[in-house]
Amino acid sequence: MDKKFYVTTPIYYINDKPHIGSTYTTVAADILARSHRLRGDKTFFLTGTDENSQKSVEAAEKSGKELRVYLDEMAKIWENTWKELGLSFDDFIRTSEERHYKAVKRFWQAVEKSGDIYKDKYERHYCVGCEDFKTDSELNEDDRCPLHPNKDLELVQEENYFFKASAYKDEILQLFHNQKDFVQPPKRLNEIRSYVKNAFNDFSISRESKKVSAGIPVPGDDSQRIYVWFDALINYMSAVGYGTDDELFKKWWPANLHLVGKDIIKFHCALWPAMIMSAAKNDPLLQNEDGTPKLPEQIFAHGFFTVEGQKMSKSLGNAIDPLELAKEYPFDVIRYFFFREIQFGNDGDFNRSRIAERYQTDLANTLGNLLNRAINMSRKYFDGKVPEINSYLTQVEFLACFNMDGTNFIGEDSLTTLWQQIDEYYNTSRIDLALELIWNGTELSAWSLNGLNKFIEEVKPFKLIKENELQTAQVLYCVLEACRHVAWMIEPVMPEISKQIIYSLGQDPKSEISQNNFQNLKKWGGLEPGSDLPEPKILFPRLGE
């Protein structure tokens, strides 16, 4: 059966342009979507904008534009930014769309039918920055929101609708217990488990329309608007047909992976499953065959960026525009930096001198140079072609030629193991570990870019050619073929560079993908001996050239 992979990013608030924080999440989703597409999975990658919030209203007022005009303009900016960066999303959902309104209505009514919505009066502090209520214990010593100390808290005294989230506390803890990878990485699971145990209370899920002009009206009660988070989370369903196209919904739901930043795990790992558990009781579309709720498979929370060591913020003026950044470096380089420099799941620093260093060392010197040398020598010694290896030596014979043991051999056996590991890393969102392995290898195998460079240094094909042409052919063929594999291994992270490598090996990446499935691609020997090698282009030119 075909596997499917449905991955989402958070939908972003559009009171400002995208910055590298939101870019980071969207690129991560793009990499995972590409890796699944390459592996032949039916893939759906969703991103979009969260528009029914007070922030939008305030930003529109500030810009002097009518709300609708402002939202349309900003949503276009976000969508176009992702397009210009080459991100391969399949749909872009806006919560101001009709299809979303329909989904929210259906969802609300299912929850209401389950008896989980009630009205209550309360008085609490609201932070527009977080679009969330704050308890006293969540405030800093100045009684302000620690995440948005410059924003005044709003004292809300209202009668609103509440969602009985607390009724699902045990079921959620059970879910965490049964499905250990529901929240990743594990440290986030610990964090959220203790939140659910100690502080998972009922949520206010509406505001009075006369006080809050943003938001979807509560079905059957125009005097109240649905709280932005209750509305926003449903985007993951509305984009795949909930409330508008049952067949489409059955095809894609549940989501396989919600990618989020660590700031919003409370909503995704606790509120969202509780909402689905409740709605599923009265909506068969949300039930598995055994009647259990169809929950997302996994939520992966990544860490936060600082910029040159400082928190990224408007007041510091250090939020980096991804389109500006893409003028400084090819965007593939930034993609590589994001996932090579920072362990996916941990916090990290966006640092220009580190980008420059990685560009020079990992990309230009290690990857670019290897490919260039191998292509240039092959062209020079073998008439502009991939060397012919008429009598293909076995691994043992080949090793014997160079007095090597299995650990530093670049060949078929170690390759299969390597691919298995790479596939596993992409499947578990450990993009950083995949790159580490491709560049550095493991103790057991020198099959890596550094290993390949060392191999050339040791074997010295530029001297060997004077003594033994057959062996030189074998060596260079191995390195070229290894580069072909590297190109496919890095394809999800660096799609453009990957294409260029394949072209420079005289192949067409498109025809290779369509003619052979991924299993074939991963086999040793895909490079045709005797085929033409075009003159190499420099993959990573000196910056500024």
Shortest Cβ distance from residue 452 to ligand MSP (Å)? Answer: 33
Q: Are 127 and 143 in contact (CB under 8 A)?
A: no
φ/ψ (deg, to 5) at 375: -70, -45
- In this structure, the dihedral spanned by the alpha carbons of residues 471, 475, 481 and 482, taken in order and rounded to 10 degrees, is 150
- In this structure, the dihedral spanned by the alpha carbons of residues 11, 14, 19 and 24, taken in order and rounded to 10 degrees, is 0
Under DSSP, the state recorded for 486 is H
Shortest Cβ distance from residue 181 to ligand MSP (Å)? Answer: 20
Shortest Cβ distance from residue 311 to ligand MSP (Å)? Answer: 8
Which CB sits closer to ligand MSP, 271 or 410?
Answer: 271
SS3 call for 261: strand
Which CB sits closer to ligand MSP, 6 or 398?
Answer: 6
- In this structure, the dihedral spanned by the alpha carbons of residues 185, 190, 195 and 196, taken in order and rounded to 10 degrees, is 90
CA–CA gap between residue 217 and residue 462 (Å, rounded): 74
Which CB sits closer to ligand MSP, 165 or 232?
Answer: 232
Which CB sits closer to ligand MSP, 84 or 347?
Answer: 347
Shortest Cβ distance from residue 260 to ligand MSP (Å)? Answer: 5
Q: Could you tell me which of 35, 39, 29 has the C-alpha nearest to residue 91?
A: 29
Which CB sits closer to ligand MSP, 12 or 359?
Answer: 12
Which CB sits closer to ligand MSP, 304 or 518?
Answer: 304
Interface positions with ligand MSP (CB under 6 A): 10-13, 21-22, 24-25, 50, 232-233, 235, 260-261, 263-264, 304-305, 312
The residue sitting closest to ligand MSP, measured at its beta carbon, is: 21
CA–CA gap between residue 130 and residue 148 (Å, rounded): 8
Shortest Cβ distance from residue 53 to ligand MSP (Å)? Answer: 7
Which CB sits closer to ligand MSP, 39 or 302?
Answer: 302
Alpha helices in 85-223 (DSSP H): 98-113, 169-178, 186-199
Which CB sits closer to ligand MSP, 100 or 484?
Answer: 100
Beta bridge partners of 161: 119
CA–CA gap between residue 124 and residue 68 (Å, rounded): 30
Shortest Cβ distance from residue 229 to ligand MSP (Å)? Answer: 7
Q: Say how many CA atoms lie within 13 Å of 294 toward its Cβ.
A: 19
Shortest Cβ distance from residue 234 to ligand MSP (Å)? Answer: 8
Token pair belonging to 14 = 């559009």
CA–CA gap between residue 140 and residue 145 (Å, rounded): 6
Under DSSP, the state recorded for 285 is G
